[in-house]
Amino acid sequence: MTEILQFPDGFLWGGATAANQCEGAYNLDGRGLANVDVVPIGADREAIITGQKKMFSFEEDYFYPAKEAIDMYHHYKEDIALFAEMGFKTYRLSVAWTRIFPKGDETVPNEAGLAFYEDLFKECLKYGIQPLVTITHFDCPMHLIEEYGGWRNRRMLDFYEKLCRTLFTRYKGLVKYWLTFNEINMILHAPFMGAGLCFEEGENQEQVKYQAAHHELVASAMATKIAHEIDPENKVGCMLAAGQYYPNTAHPRDYWAAMEEDRKSYFFIDVQARGEYPNYAKKQWEREGIEIQMTAEDLDLLKNNTVDFVSFSYYASRVASGDPEVKELTAGNVFASIKNPYLESSEWGWQIDPLGLRITLNAIWDRYQKPMFIVENGLGAIDTPDENGYVADDYRIAYLESHIKAMRDAIYKDGVDLLGYTTWGSIDLVSAGTGEMNKRYGFIYVDRDNAGHGSLKRSKKKSFYWYKDVIASNGASIE
C-alpha cells in the first residue's frame, strides 16, 4: 500500500501568536495595563509569573519586553501579507482584553480596540486566512487584579462574559473559530500569568488556584453557550498545554506518578470536553481539604456547554518518577520534568520528541473523541542571520518536519480527527516563559534583541520557503 502524503482536504495550516508577545503599543489608543505587561525579563520573572513576587506596575531597573514587543500593532498588514505569501489557511492570534475593556469592569467597550481587531480580521480574510481567536492568552487587566484579585473572584465571570458577548457580536461573520483560555492548565504552574493570581502570605495556594480554575471553567462554558447562541456557525475550543508524561522506569509507582501528572492537566479538559468534574479530582480535594464554592447552575452550565473541539500546544513530552531519590530535572520550563535520556534537547532544555506528539494526539483522542487542533508547536532556538537577515534554520525545519510526519501517522495510521496545525510564533516574538527575544520560533526573522534594540525589520528565513511548499502541497512535500 502506498503511503498517503497529503493531509485531508481543508486541513487548516497556519501559524500562531499572542497579543502581548507581539503587539507592543501597550498604552496606545486607550489600551489599559495588563498582568502580561508588568512581567520583566530576568531573574525575577519566574517568581512574578508564579505569583510569588508581587509586581503590579513598572519598576525601575527592569526591562519589560511586552511594552513594544515586535510592534505588530503597527506592522500587522505587512506581517499578514507575509503569512499569506506562505499560504496560511488560518492565523491564530489573541485579542488583548485591555484594548477592548481597558480596566475590565467598564460597561462600554473601547471602540479603538474593537476597530483595530476588526481591521486585522478583515485583512486576514482578504487573503482567505481564517482567524482563529484566543479570547484570553494569559492576559488579565491589572485593574481586575488589584480591585478583585483576578480569577480567584467570582465577579470575573461577569467581566469575562461581557468581553465574550462583545467579541461574538462585533465579529460575527468574521471569526468562526474561538479558544476560551490559552493553556488553561497554566493556572497551576504560572498562576499570575495564567490567571492574575498573586498570593498573600500564609494563603492555601492550592485552594486559591482550584477556585480560580473553577471560575475559568464556568466562564469557558458560558462563553461556549453564548458563542453558539449568537452564531450557530461558531466553533469553540478549549486549549491545553499538552505533552504526555512517561514513567521514568517500568516500576509501577513511576507509571502511577506519570498518570497523576497527566491528570493534573486532563482535569481541565475532562470538565470542558465531558462536562463534569472527574472523581479523581473530587477525591483529591477531599483529601487535601480543598473546598470549592460552586452552584448547581455552574454544574448545569458545565454539563450542557462542552467544547466543539480540543486544541493544545505541544513542544515536548515529559517524564515522571514516583521515586523521591530521582531528581534530575530538565532546565528552563515551568513544567518540571525528569530528563529523558533517549531524547535530544533544544538550547533551552526542552526535549524533542516527535513520536510524543503522535502519542499525545492518540491519548487525547482516546479520552475525548472530539476533533483536535494543534495550535502550538515549534522549536525555540538562537538564529544567526546573515547581512540580509536570512537565517538558514535547518534545525527548525527538521523539528517541524518530524512533528508533521507524526501528525500524519496519527491521522492515517491511527485515525484521529485533526482539524489543523498552527506553528508557534510564526513570526519571531517575545518568549512567554523567559521574556527573551532571542528564543525564536519564526519563519520570519525580526531584528530585535533581548534588550529591545533593533530595527524591527522583518526578513524571511529558510523555513519560510519550506513551509510555503508544505502548505502548497498540503503536506506532500514532506516524504
Site for ligand P53, rule CB under 6 A: 18, 21, 182-183, 241, 313, 315, 333-335, 376, 380, 424, 431-434, 439
* CB-nearer residue toward ligand P53: 137 or 152: 137
Shortest CB 295 distance to ligand P53, Å: 30
* CB-nearer residue toward ligand P53: 11 or 315: 315
Residue closest to 218 by CA, chosen among 300, 96, 286, 279: 300
Q: How far is CA 7 from CA 16, 152, 409, 412, 473, in A?
A: 19, 43, 10, 9, 9
Q: What angle do CA 76, 424, 415 make, to 5 degrees?
A: 125
* CB-nearer residue toward ligand P53: 199 or 350: 350
Q: Which residue is nearest to ligand P53 (CB)?
A: 433
Give the Cα separation of 449 and 13 in Å (integer).
29
For cell 461558531, name the residue: 234
Shortest CB 285 distance to ligand P53, Å: 25
* CB-nearer residue toward ligand P53: 22 or 471: 22
Residue closest to 177 by CA, chosen among 220, 222, 237, 230: 237
* CB-nearer residue toward ligand P53: 438 or 474: 438
Shortest CB 17 distance to ligand P53, Å: 9
* CB-nearer residue toward ligand P53: 14 or 433: 433
**Annotation says 123 is catalytic:** no
Choice among 123, 376, 401, 436 that is catalytic: 376
Residue 197: burial class (beta carbons within 10 Å; 0-12, 13-18, 19+): buried
- Contact residues for 116 (Cβ-Cβ < 8 A; gap 6+): 29, 73, 99
Residue closest to 120 by CA, chosen among 252, 23, 11, 236: 23
Shortest CB 205 distance to ligand P53, Å: 19
Q: Provide the Cα torsion 466, 472, 478, 479; round to 10°.
A: -140
Q: What is the largest CA-CA distance in the chain?
A: 65
251-260, Cβ contacts within 8 angstroms, sequence gap of 24 or more: 251/322, 251/323, 253/322, 253/323, 254/320, 254/321, 254/322, 254/323, 256/322, 257/320, 257/321, 257/322, 258/319, 258/320, 260/320
Beta bridge pairs of residue 376: 313
Shortest CB 235 distance to ligand P53, Å: 20
| Pair 355, 417: CB distance under 8 Å | no
Shortest CB 438 distance to ligand P53, Å: 11
* CB-nearer residue toward ligand P53: 182 or 305: 182
* CB-nearer residue toward ligand P53: 150 or 433: 433
* CB-nearer residue toward ligand P53: 21 or 50: 21
| Pair 372, 282: CB distance under 8 Å | no
State the catalytic residues: 376
